[in-house]
Amino acid sequence: MALEHASPLPLYHQLERALGERIARGEYETGEAIPGELELAREFGVSRGTIRQAIDRLVRSGLIVRQRGRGSFVARGPIDYPLGSFYSFAHEMAGRGIEESSEVLLQRRVRLSATWGQDGSGR
């Protein structure tokens, strides 16, 4: 697939789509390395920066994992856990090459009523 340089769609987005389609078609199998930045840059006629942007987006979407010093690989399938099972989220994500993080979305003080939780419901 050739990228359309005259398209209003950014090149990195076009490249992200092209690589995603290759993965969906099975051209790159699970666990297989995708071509390196230089090879992709030559194939698609774009800069390494454009390649990096596309791969970054594929990493964030979970299709590709990066391994420092080794390259980028097609990720395993979706993460699936039965409810109630005990597991270590951070350990599992690290094993899949996915960087985990957390963020506090809201922090505030609230005054609880005197009857909160007395019925065992937590309300």
Instruction: Say if 114 falls within a structural domain.
Output: no
Instruction: Say if 120 falls within a structural domain.
Output: no
Distance CA 58, CA 121 (A): 43
Other beta carbons within 10 angstroms of residue 34's beta carbon come to 20
Instruction: Say if 77 falls within a structural domain.
Output: yes
pLDDT at residue 86, rounded to an integer: 47
**Consecutive sets of 10 residues in the chain, 123 residues long: mean pLDDT of each?**
86 93 90 94 94 93 89 78 54 66 83 67 53
CATH number, residue 75: 1.10.10.10
Would the pTM of this model clear 0.75, i.e. be above it? no
Instruction: Say if 23 falls within a structural domain.
Output: yes
pLDDT at residue 110, rounded to an integer: 82
Contacts of residue 43, defined as CB under 8 A and 6 or more positions apart, other chains included, come to 35
pLDDT at residue 82, rounded to an integer: 53
Residue 65 β-bridge partners:
73
Instruction: Say if 20 falls within a structural domain.
Output: yes
Instruction: Say if 118 falls within a structural domain.
Output: no
CA-based nearest residue to 34, from 66, 68, 72 = 72
Per the structure, the complete domain to which residue 91 belongs is given by 11-95
